[in-house]
Amino acid sequence: MESVNIKFCAMLNNIRIDKYLAQTLKYSRSHISKIINEGNLLVNNKKVKSSYTVKKHDTIFITLKKPEKLNLTPQNLNIEIVYQDEFIAVVNKPANMVVHPSAGHNQNTLVNALLFHCKNLSSINDVIRPGIVHRLDKDTSGLMVIAKNNLAHLSLSEQFKNRNVKKYYKALTFGIVKPEKGRIESFIGRHKKNRLKFSSFTSSGKLAITNYSVEKYFKNFSLLDINIETGRTHQIRVHLSEKGFPLVGDSLYASKKILKTLPYKIERVFLHSYRLIFNHPETEEVLDFRIELPDELKNFLRRIEDEKNNISRKLNIKQ
């Protein structure tokens, strides 16, 4: 099987090499240990053990087996490519599109679209996730950055891991959110009873931090501007629903009773990733991308804005 060689400089101190590479490459620690035991890892031109402690600026050279040939069909799906060069692409993912193939989703994913629209994609993140550095829920629309080669993938992974990527969302919730600005912090893990959901009420979980400010009040709704410091699955949906303000259109976390109070039908969760800030993996230039709300969300806001008893008010809150 063909191999690919990757050389990069460590950015952290005092962390085991197997843990560091597992976080960076998104492989299991057992897989990393296998690579090390097979002699396919050098640190400063020397072989090391899995217990080796990484020092900042260590030169790491790793040989990875190229993934098996993709058995995925490139599809000319409707995705907006906001920006691209030889290193990255920034796309506007539509709602109700799965990011990468999984059981029951071999077609019509973002990866299928990327295989059609992009000539090259990184191969680090395994055979079914070429180019994918981070994800958005199926029901969430908005900006995602895609890696087009492995060095770009490593750089972006480091930025996400070190919380250097800034991610902003617009969300519409049921209820009048108070206080108008806040920070929600908890450990999120798989829900104890419903395996489709996530929860803060779990025996094990990962730290999740959500910052929000109210942008506008409507009658019985609040439009929020949100910045997340972490990227846990369903993080915004979990945090706001547990605070008593589930997202409009969210049939997983909002009760059937509250969903029935919607004055107008909406076919998706009202959650949109509208801004993404990160450093270009090659030039290190700060890139700041913004995208408008999709039409279906704009139209929903217009309709509730026109309600006779609207009590909306705009807040002049800086992002």
Residue 293's pLDDT band (cuts 50, 70, 90): very high
Q: Residue 70 and residue 112: Cα distance in Å, rounded?
A: 11
**Is the per-residue pLDDT at 106 higher than 80?**
no
Residue 212 CA to chain centroid, in angstroms? Answer: 17
DSSP state letter for 254: S
In a domain, residue 311? The reply is: no
| 134: containing domain | 80-159
CATH of residue 259: 3.30.2350.10
Is residue 18 among the annotated active site residues?
Answer: no
Which of 4-18, 88-102, 277-291 holds the top average pLDDT?
Answer: 277-291
Indicate if 251 and 192 belong to the same structural domain. yes
Residue 22 CA to chain centroid, in angstroms? Answer: 18
**Strands 198-199 vs 206-218: parallel, antiparallel or unpaired:** unpaired
Indicate if 144 and 172 belong to the same structural domain. no
What is the chain's mean pLDDT, rounded? Answer: 88
- Higher-confidence residue of 72 and 189: namely 189
- Higher-confidence residue of 102 and 184: namely 184
**Final residue of a structural domain among 106, 139, 159:** 159
Indicate if 51 and 88 belong to the same structural domain. no
**Is the per-residue pLDDT at 313 higher than 60?**
no
Quick: pLDDT tens for 233-256: 999 999 999 999 999 999 999 999
Indicate if 174 and 141 belong to the same structural domain. no
Q: Residue 297 and residue 243: Cα distance in Å, rounded?
A: 23
Tell me which long-range contacts 41-50 makes (C-beta under 8 A, separation of at least 24): 41/17, 43/17, 48/17, 50/16, 50/17, 50/18
In a domain, residue 317? The reply is: no
Catalytic pick among 18, 58, 137, 250: 137
**Final residue of a structural domain among 109, 124, 159:** 159
Indicate if 195 and 225 belong to the same structural domain. yes
DSSP state letter for 265: -
In a domain, residue 319? The reply is: no
Mean pLDDT of all residues in 256-268? 94
**Final residue of a structural domain among 131, 159, 187:** 159
In a domain, residue 313? The reply is: no
Q: Report how far apart, in Å, the C-alpha atoms of 43 and of each of 30, 34, 39, 60, 89 are.
A: 19, 16, 11, 5, 31
Indicate if 276 and 197 belong to the same structural domain. yes
Q: How many domains does the chain have?
A: 3
In a domain, residue 312? The reply is: no
What is the structure's pLDDT at 318?
Answer: 42
Indicate if 47 and 97 belong to the same structural domain. no
Indicate if 190 and 290 belong to the same structural domain. yes
Q: Residue 77 and residue 40: Cα distance in Å, rounded?
A: 38
CATH of residue 39: 3.10.290.10
Indicate if 133 and 237 belong to the same structural domain. no
Which of 12-16, 76-80, 224-228 holds the top average pLDDT?
Answer: 224-228
**Is the per-residue pLDDT at 319 higher than 50?**
no
- Neighbour-count burial of 295, counting CB atoms closer than 10 A to its CB (0-12 exposed, 13-18 middle, 19+ buried): exposed
In a domain, residue 246? The reply is: yes
Indicate if 182 and 267 belong to the same structural domain. yes
Our CA dihedral for 168, 174, 179, 181, rounded to 10 degrees, sits at: 10
Comparing C-alpha atoms, which of 202, 297, 301 is closest to residue 242? Answer: 202
Quick: pLDDT tens for 126-147: 667 888 999 999 999 999 999 9
In a domain, residue 72? The reply is: no
Indicate if 151 and 173 belong to the same structural domain. no
Strands (E), 197-251: 198-199, 206-218, 221-228
Indicate if 281 and 181 belong to the same structural domain. yes
Q: Residue 185 and residue 209: Cα distance in Å, rounded?
A: 5
In a domain, residue 75? The reply is: no
